[in-house]
Chains A and B, each alone.
Chain A
């Protein structure tokens, strides 16, 4: 099952795609699939399954690791009829979400589909995440304390 060495240069790029798909909302995956790839042929290599990942912290933030606690994670692997294998994994228990994300991850490996995926799936997710992050940063910034020194009488 390991992908060939020739595929390696793409892996960083695929990791970025997978990270975005892991944050996608249901609609952000299902709509583009319905509109652009309505009759896609694929098989499940690994059916979506939910399990646990133990999250590790570090002593003092940057020291030796310890086990903080687990999180639910759901993952799936699909294969398109054209041979591309798509991987998806995300926090939570969204079975249908990881299946769709895996399909899109596979589509993104096809030269012909890559621009479509980029434009219709990844760009909207990236935009939403950027908007949410900047809204949160602005709300947080409003709670930053500006200290001022009271005028002290000399004498």
Chain B
């Protein structure tokens, strides 16, 4: 039976009003501005853009403010907002080789063309709380060094590929469609394009845990960070009326090329294999985790036995999206009065039947 219930409007309106009040916090403390969030909580902004799957720093900052810093709630707001906009089309594929590098490291080669460039990193900090930040004060201006304009940053994987020691990336099929999760529901088995799209917007914690699990032996694939690079990449988009592509500006991206252990056969000499991670913003942990999971999900393609959660594409891709996950988990707190009444009635009937059996065969209980 389905029972329609009304009521609670006033309570809901007042709860939302109270929520706004709590969001503001102590009104004697200056209100935080979205520009401050965008500038000073920029890695939270990057995460919301990545998992919201929408590159727009100002919107992500607004969502973080509205969500009181609950990033999954902020991602939810962004996902909802994007459904209100029309889609103009697809960019020309981003050329990460042409990135304006702000960070680029490799754990496979110490000396490589372009060098190891640390950029703004938490690596090598001592993870000691800096109490000076609790007071106000400007940090030092960044150091500068002369720029070698001839310097290039070739991909580390291209250096390995020069000796044909690593598998080639799958070539583009000009006629083939590119899978799009936002248009077609996910079906299994999923091709690598759909898997990468799913992982790119997947929950960072989930990807991190799965990536970690592969390192601990659940789908081990012996990874090395061939390269991590972060910086700005131009977005090119066509103007169909003019038949030209034009740069729309640049986005910040983080890319991780994971180099993994070998695949060979009777006919093919052994080669390194690849896992790939790409993320909006400066999200290194996310890009690394993504590349570990991408590699693990290639188990079938590489002829590996699938034994672990990270290799199970249906498990991984069905549970990576934190908006789907939070929707289903959190719906449990919505009214289930009728369902529960049904279960109560069922339980009472079972109890009555049990009691009746006890009375009919009293010796059975003894």
Q: A residues engaging B (CB < 8 A)?
A: 1-3, 11-12, 14-15, 18-19, 22-23, 49-73, 75, 77, 87, 89-93, 133-145, 147
Contact = CB atoms under 8 A, between A and B. Distances in A.
Contacts of A63: 168-172
Contacts of A61: 96-97, 155, 157, 169, 255, 257, 276
Contacts of B249: 22-23, 90-92
B172 A137 contact: no
Contacts of B82: 52, 70
A141 B86 contact: no
Contact of B171 (A49, A56, A64, A69): A64
Contacts, number: 236
A93 B244 contact: no
Nearest to A54: B90
Contact of B178 (A1, A18, A56, A72): A56
A72 B55 contact: yes
Given A56-B93, A59-B276, A138 B179 contact: no
B100 A68 contact: no
B35 interface: no
B102 interface: yes
B100 A133 contact: yes
Interface in B151-187: 155, 157, 168-173, 176, 178-182
Given A58-B172, A68-B197, 12 more contacts: A15-B244, A18-B246, A51-B85, A51-B87, A53-B91, A54-B89, A57-B94, A66-B179, A66-B200, A68-B196, A141-B117, A143-B119
Given A143-B119, A144-B116, A69 B181 contact: no
Contacts of B145: 138, 141-142, 144
Looking at chain A's contact residues, the main secondary structure is mixed
A64 B201 contact: no
Interface stretch (B20-28, B235-243, B309-317, B347-355): B235-243
A72 B89 CA distance: 11
A50 to B, nearest CB: 6
Contact of A70 (B87, B241, B245): B87
Interface residues of B, number: 81
A91 B55 contact: yes
B174 to A, nearest CB: 10
A57 B93 contact: yes
Nearest to B199: A66
Contacts of A77: 241
A56 B55 CA distance: 12
B94 A58 contact: yes
B136 to A, nearest CB: 23
Top 7 nearest A-B pairs (CB, nearest first) are: A63-B169, A60-B169, A71-B55, A138-B144, A19-B247, A66-B193, A91-B249
Contacts of A12: 244
